[in-house]
């Protein structure tokens, strides 16, 4: 048996640009390529350390001015919906879920465009064309699913919501979701999270990864409304507790140098080979 070294990807840092969550701040990302035979294992390992996937790249915020972006996940076994969330489940009980392979369709793109135009017209994806949308959905080197939600309509079911979801060894990761903007009264964004908790529970997976929670950001504050929420902070997962306790992450001195951040990243061991 030949023992091999740990998988050793190269890490890079993006140039600073305007932060989409906190006004007047700059964001910077630490990232690495996600490709090859070890892609799934690398994704599983780094996602447990606060990384997120975008197509064939894994990234984690590494800003010079703050460390406010905290990866968040729900402990499925301990989650119980609150009173308002139970109403959301009841209100959306007519939606039908359909999980498919990661393949983009014209119906998905049409819904995606309506969602962006109404909800995020000034966001970073506002100019995304159908080819870029297809790349977002289809370019995945790991186990991913597109989960569609339909509601009964005249003639055929109407596509109401879509979520691109990655499957980890310990949970589900909601990479990106969008939904019918004319149905704001249904709180479909909340419903998608609740349904992913149900899917994870059915599959015996312990976590649902929600992306980043950002203290002080109105866009990301809703994630703190979910019970059994954990955040990745100080190199470990911990209960969120009182959201107000995490405002210190907005301070520049909360940021460690890039070299120290990379040195602390745990990497998966390459599988031993037999001779």
pLDDT at 272: 58
**Cα–Cα nearest to 249, from 224, 228, 232:** 232
pLDDT at 152: 84
Q: Which CATH number describes the domain made up of 72-242?
A: 3.40.630.30
In this prediction the pTM is 0.91
* pLDDT under 50: residue ranges of the chain: 1-2, 275
Domain ranges of the chain: 12-70+249-263, 72-242
pLDDT at 275: 47
pLDDT at 121: 62
Cβ contacts of 207 within 8 Å, gap of 6 or more = 73, 74, 75, 76, 168, 170, 171, 172, 200
218-232: pLDDT as tens digits: 778 889 999 999 999
Say how many C-beta atoms besides its own lie within 10 A of residue 30's C-beta: 20
């Amino acid at each position: 048996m030949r023992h091999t070294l740990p998988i050793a990807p190269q890490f890079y840092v993006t140039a600073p640009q305007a932060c989409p969550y906190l006004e007047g701040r700059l964001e910077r990302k630490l990232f690495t390529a996600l490709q090859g035979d070890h892609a799934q294992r690398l994704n599983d390992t780094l996602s447990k350390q606060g990384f997120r996937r975008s197509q064939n790249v894994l990234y984690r915020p590494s800003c010079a001015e703050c460390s406010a972006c905290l990866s968040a996940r729900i402990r499925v076994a301990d989650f119980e919906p609150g009173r308002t969330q139970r109403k959301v489940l009841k209100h959306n009980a007519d939606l039908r879920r359909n999980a498919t392979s990661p393949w983009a369709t014209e119906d998905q793109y049409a819904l995606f465009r309506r969602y962006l135009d109404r909800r995020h017209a000034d966001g970073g994806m506002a100019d995304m064309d159908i080819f870029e949308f297809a790349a977002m959905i289809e370019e995945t080197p790991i186990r991913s699913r597109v989960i569609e939600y339909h509601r009964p309509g005249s003639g055929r079911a109407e596509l109401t919501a879509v979520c691109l979801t990655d499957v980890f060894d310990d949970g589900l990761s909601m990479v990106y979701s969008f939904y019918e903007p004319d149905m704001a009264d249904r709180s479909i964004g909340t419903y998608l999270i609740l349904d992913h908790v149900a899917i994870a529970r059915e599959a015996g997976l312990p976590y649902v990864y929600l992306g980043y929670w950002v203290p002080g950001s109105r866009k990301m504050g809703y994630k703190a409304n979910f019970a059994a929420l954990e955040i990745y902070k100080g190199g470990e997962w911990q209960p969120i507790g009182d959201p107000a306790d995490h405002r210190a992450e907005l301070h520049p001195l909360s940021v460690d140098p890039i070299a120290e951040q990379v040195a602390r990243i745990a990497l998966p061991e390459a599988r031993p080979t037999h001779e």
